[in-house]
Amino acid sequence: MTPLRRLARRLGYDLTPRRKGKPPHAQLVAVLAHFRISCVLDVGANAGQYGAMLREWGYPGRIVSFEPQASAHAALARRAGTDPAWQVAPPMALGGHAGQIELEVSAESDMSSVLPQSALLRRVSPSSAVVRKETVPLGRLDEVAGPYLTPDDRVFLKVDTQGYETQVLAGAERLLDRLAGIQLELSLVPLYEGERDFRAMLDELAALGFEPHLFLPGYFERKLARQLQVDGVFMRATRDL
């Protein structure tokens, strides 16, 4: 990427030919700026793709990343290592209780999940096949996030855990009042056994006091000509944090 294009992205624009306006990632960073987000909790960070994207598009605040899978965590730590405002928590999964849990590691590591893959995912994406299982530490976000936050932080939670988002939110219960916004991966079609329907997730977020501000395109399956996942960005609706 040229220095000019990099500068343009930090200002929220894209110089790619034939593209007008702000692209989705610039829109996300614009939402974070509007709500004065100072710390992003990046749950399900994999190798740091989300944090790197935020930096590329100009988010200047702190990032705290959580990732359970060993090789992905090592890549994440390397990626964040040169960024003093990007912290990486010890390897752990996050859910509704503390303990240990078994992670199904996919050949495409960003498709790894605590939940078993659905028959549909195995059929349309054989490259995502589970290659091994790892037993990893499990914690609650509201118990482990405290040391990374300051009293004045305006906190944004991003969760990308391949169907395990409901459990992550359950383990963030005592942190919810600190959150100015939440970004969740939503499955339009179930890809993992036991994941909640996107409609139920929308209802849950509304009940928690968050309203949709942005939807970002996710997994589009060409074999089905169908969008299977999107990311929803939800900001607190009822009060100014």
Average pLDDT in the 100-108 region?
95
**CATH no. for 24-96+139-236:** 3.40.50.150
Domain ranges of the chain: 24-96+139-236
Global pTM value: 0.88
CB 169 within 8 A of CB 158: no
Average pLDDT in the 33-46 region?
97
Average pLDDT in the 87-113 region?
95
What ranges make up the beta strands (E) of the chain? 39-43, 62-66, 86-88, 93-94, 99-106, 130-139, 155-159, 179-187, 210-217, 220-221, 226-227, 229-236
149: amino acid identity, one letter: L
pLDDT at 114: 93
The answer on pLDDT for 139 being more than 60 is yes
pLDDT at 219: 87
pLDDT band at 22 (very low <50, low <70, confident <90, very high): confident
pLDDT at 3: 62
Question: How far from chain centre, in Å, is Cα 59?
Answer: 15
Query: Using only C-alpha atoms, what is the Rg of the chain?
Result: 17
- The residue among 115, 116, 105 whose CA lies nearest residue 71 is 105
- Give the number of other CB atoms < 10 A from CB of residue 225: 7
